[in-house]
Every structure is written in C-alpha cells, then in structure tokens.
Structure 1
C-alpha cells in the first residue's frame, strides 16, 4: 500500500461508501490526486461552487476539477422540459477514490448556486441551444 506525501481523505466507515479507495492505495501506478480532496477541501469547494456568480465561473470550476482531480462536472438540460433547477442534469463523473458523499455534495452545491443565480440557468440553456441563441 502506497503512502502519499500529502494529506489524503480519511477512509469512510465500512459499507458506507463505494469509492474503492483501497484499490488506489494498493496500486503503485495509480494517480492519487483524487484523494487530495479531504473533507476540509470538499467544504471549500462546495462554498466556491455555491458562490459562483456566472456561468463562466462555474465552467472554470469544472475545468479545475478536471485538471486537479481528474473528474468532470457536467451540467446539461434534462431530457424533458427544464422548468426548474431540478430539470437540469448535474453529474460528477465516477472515479475510484471519489467518495459517494462528494458525488452528492457537489451537484447539490451547483443546484443551490443555480437557484440563487437564475441567469446561469439561462446561460446553460443558451449554451445548449435551447433558447435559439
């Protein structure tokens, strides 16, 4: 089992998560970047997402997630009508080492951001050509 030289996320209680963290730690070739997202760092990330004031800022956060952790954040209109924030599909890609709670917390933070900033929803819809822009 490899021990990284940086603080990593603590292990979840047995049976509480499906992150497969141990597979990463057992593989000497594995990229351990995802384990840098400690609970404290996750809280900072959630605050940053909730504080995003524009679509561009939300996109930059998504780019940083991809660069630093290797996960992608997808925000797109759902298959049916988009009448509320709940009509958007917000997903964080699955990756070994990414905690189940994180996969739930980040999309929830995006939804809270969008509820506070409806103009971001319009920008998302426009970027997906739903407003004919």
Structure 2
C-alpha cells in the first residue's frame, strides 16, 4: 500500500507556518499535500499562465485542492506596474512562509510576461471602462 506524500516540515525556527495546528482532529490538512516538487510545478504553471481564465482556473484549483484562497485584484492606489496589483494568500496553518512569498511572485512574473492578462484583470474590475 502506498501512502500519499506530504510536505516535509520546515526546520525548527525557520518558518512560521504553524504546522503543529494541523495535528488537531478535524483540521484541514490538504495544504500538506503540496510537496516541494508539486510546489515547483505550480509555480511554473503560474508563471506561464496564458489567459485570465486560466489564472482564475488555477486560483479555483488551489482552493479546491489545498484549501488556500488566492485573491488577485487591483490595489487601492493607482495601478502603474504589476506591483499595483494586490495578490494575497489566505493565512492557512501549514502554508510555508516561502510558499506564501513564491506564489504571488510567480503570478506577478506571469502577468509581466503577459500584460494583456493584467489589462483583462483591470477591466474586470471596471478600472479601464473610461479608457
């Protein structure tokens, strides 16, 4: 019988993922299914996104499979660069600090490669209606 691979714990003191909170009965442990290899594949897919629909599909899949909500929306100030687009990950016990940084960075790199996706995102939030 094969077991499902789970993410190895971070070294003590190196991360603030609060993985120990997942030891409680009934805790959502889906985030532990994101191994380092799978994280690299996810990062690659986010960097190579080709449309807003594909990006939104990946957001849904991340939530369905890992229980992490990824919110992508224009920031509260004027959007002049990709940094003006806010990308937040829901705080979930077990989500490694490095992963919390890598996912938004990969999304930004994907938007920089395909600026038309950023324009679609802005348009979806009615920021370009008068342009």
Shift of 1:124: 0.6
Which ranges of structure 1 fall in alignment gaps of 5 or more residues?
none
1:107 CA drift (Å):
0.2
What's the C-alpha RMSD, in Å, of the aligned pairs?
1.1
Q: Return the alpha-carbon distance in structure 2 between the equivalents of residues 85 and 95 of structure 1.
A: 25
Residue 23 in structure 1 maps to residue 21 in structure 2: yes
Task: Say which SS state the counterpart of residue 18 (structure 1) adopts.
Answer: coil
Equivalent-residue separation in structure 2 for 1:85 and 1:112 (angstroms): 9
CA shift digits 1:29-78 (9 cap, x unpaired): 21211100011010000001111100110000000011101111111111
Matches for 1:86-97 after TM superposition, within 5 Å: 86-97=83-94
For normalisation by structure 2, the TM-score amounts to 0.94
Q: 1:123 matched to which residue of 2?
A: 120
Match of 1:77 in 2: 74
The equivalences for 1:39-50 within 5 A come to 39-50=36-47
Runs of 4+ in 1 over 3 A off after TM superposition: none
The total of aligned residue pairs comes to 128
CA distance in 2, matches of 1:35, 1:45: 14
Matched, 1:66 2:63: yes
Picking from 14, 23, 35, the partner of 2:12 is 14
